[in-house]
Amino acid sequence: MREGTISIGKTESDGVEIVSLEGEIDLTNAGLVREAVDTTTSETVVLDLSAVTFLDSMAISTLDGSQRRLSSEQRSLVVVSPPATPSAWTLRVAGIDGGMVCGSLDQALVTALARHTAA
């Protein structure tokens, strides 16, 4: 799906749904990100921000809301944000919990599968 300045893709790996984003996440398209996460069904969802070039406060609010919604359903969200990316800087400044953020997709999948087997 492509809308405005964001591209959203969905894949699956070992029962974990991966929502991959590319471009800018802001007020104009944060609802699309929320919808992409809300339509998942796996116990753990990986949100890959590796190719995200910009996050505004609405994007941060959307991430927080998605994490809260999944948690209320006994599900979890793992965010991929490699250290040298714009998303990593924004998440650090916003104080987003490091326990939710992984530096690579591989690390996020290991975390997701560990959460799945622990449940």
- Angstrom distance (rounded) from CA 25 to CA 56: 7
The number of folded domains in the chain is 1
- Angstrom distance (rounded) from CA 97 to CA 29: 23
Domain that holds residue 59: 2-118
pLDDT for residue 37: 97
pLDDT for residue 100: 87
Token pair, residue 73, equals 């359903």
In tens digits, the chain (119 residues) has pLDDT values of 444 589 999 999 999 999 999 999 999 999 999 999 999 999 999 999 999 999 999 999 999 999 999 999 999 999 999 999 999 999 999 888 667 899 999 999 998 888 766 65
Angle (CA) 25-7-1 rounded to 5° is: 125
CATH code of 83's domain: 3.30.750.24
